[in-house]
Amino acid sequence: MNHYYRWVIVAAGGLLGCVAIGAMFSLPIFLRPMSQDTGWSVTGISTAMTIGFLAMAAASMVWGNLSDRFGPRPVVLTGSVALAASLALASRAESLIAFQFQFGLLIGASTAAILAPMMACVTGWFDTQRGLAVSLVSAGMGMAPMTMAPLAAWLVTIHDWRTSMLIIAALTAVLMIPAALLVRRPPALEGGPAGMTMSETQSNMTVRQAVSSPQFIILMLANFFCCATHSGPIFHTVSYAVTCGIPMIAAVSIYSIEGLAGMFGRIGFGLAGDRFGAQRVLVIGLMAQAFGVLAYAFVNQLGGFYAVAVVVGFLYAGTMPLYAVIIRENFPLKMMGTIIGGTAMAGSLGMSTGPLLGGLIYDHFGSYALMYVGSWGMGLMAMLILMSFRPFFPRREAMAAA
């Protein structure tokens, strides 16, 4: 039964992540209609997204720890209800400050209740094919730009932004709450010590020891620099393409190409991680990602942008799920939520750097070239940091690679 139900967990995780990420990232779709209707500045509305990233960072480790204590279902269910309620509240906001609080702070914190707990839950359900399972959940999250974003874009063509956001809130509740009820704690934890592996029962590691260990710090730093590597290019590449004379509609399609390539990247890296070892594959992926984002600085035609977008989308989307696999191979199952939440916190902070630094570089130099060079440098930093990682269980890591 557990052998088959673990794929139900994967499907539930993919759906929950898709809707949660899609709801949060619907804000760019609502940006112009909101500004025209309310008179709020584009910068002020966009600030809600920055607040959302910071809220995700602050809440990820908290939600992860709660999922370790009480199980993933109550945490994910709470996040689902809170996300739908926050969207509904944000759709009724009468001031910019209220909107920034309701959409930025509340939705960012609610989304964090889905991501780290579900990744931790999925890693606990799989002893084999773990890389593939985590990548499939991540692929579900990656479907958000191709599902929820077009839905939001269609809604604002026939409704005002408030009604459209309220419909998104209702859809979020209808889809996420039933999916959250399908989530179960991994059998090894349900069964107590008898259900754990030998290495789990022998491990006396406490949470405090885990979060102060060099292994955890290395994974946090690597994830921070990894996300900082691609956050600027993700946010500013459309603007860069427009400065090269490419029409806006064509420039926006670069994101679609990246998203589609990312679907294949998640699956490809997951399979490779299962076959060759997650750390080895991730190091190679980080190096390739660094040179991939640098390539943007050397293109100025739409065909070149598309070619680089395929490579960059494949690489940055493929690398992200492997952090959870490495964590599962090195830390006790009982603290998966806390550890994955900690690395997710670092990743969210890394994502928050790109939009700001890229904008500052462009405003000062009138060019994005230095942003891509800086992203290349941060990508190499992420690779070098991860190369210093030494597993707690070298023999188990070797077996996983074999």
Neighbours of 72 (CB within 10 A): 32
* pLDDT tens-digit series, residues 108-143: 999 999 988 998 888 888 877 777 888 888 888 878
> Which string of DSSP letters, residue by residue, matches 261-287?
HHHHHHHHHHHHHHHH-HHHHHHHHHH
Say which residues have a Cβ less than 8 Å from residue 154's Cβ, sequence separation at least 6: none
| Residue ranges of domains in the chain | 2-186, 204-389
Write b or e for each residue in 279-315: b if 16 or more Cβ atoms lie within 10 A of its Cβ, otherwise e.
bebbbbbbbbbbebbbbbbebeebeebbebbbbbbbb
Query: Which pLDDT value is given to residue 374?
Result: 95
Tell me whether domains 2-186 and 204-389 share a fold.
Answer: yes
pLDDT for 400 equals: 46
pLDDT number for residue 398: 46
- Look up the CATH architecture of domain 2-186: Up-down Bundle (1.20)
Which positions of the chain have pLDDT values less than 70? 1-2, 145, 189-203, 393-402
What pLDDT is attached to residue 203? Answer: 60
> How buried is 245 (Cβ within 10 angstroms: 0-12 exposed, 13-18 middle, 19+ buried)?
exposed
pTM listed for this prediction: 0.78
Q: Find out whether 226 and 379 touch, Cβ atoms under 8 Å.
A: yes
Q: What is the pLDDT, as a whole number, of residue 191?
A: 53
pLDDT at 288: 97
Q: What is the distance between the alpha carbons of residues 109 and 364, in angstroms, rounded to a whole number?
A: 33
pLDDT for position 138: 81
Q: pLDDT per residue over 294-320, tens digit each?
A: 999 999 999 999 999 999 999 998 898
Q: Quick one: which of 13, 17, 25 has its CA closest to 152?
A: 25
* C-alpha–C-alpha distance, residues 228 and 207, integer Å: 27
Angstrom distance (rounded) from CA 189 to CA 334: 7
Return the CATH number of the domain spanning residue range 204-389.
1.20.1250.20
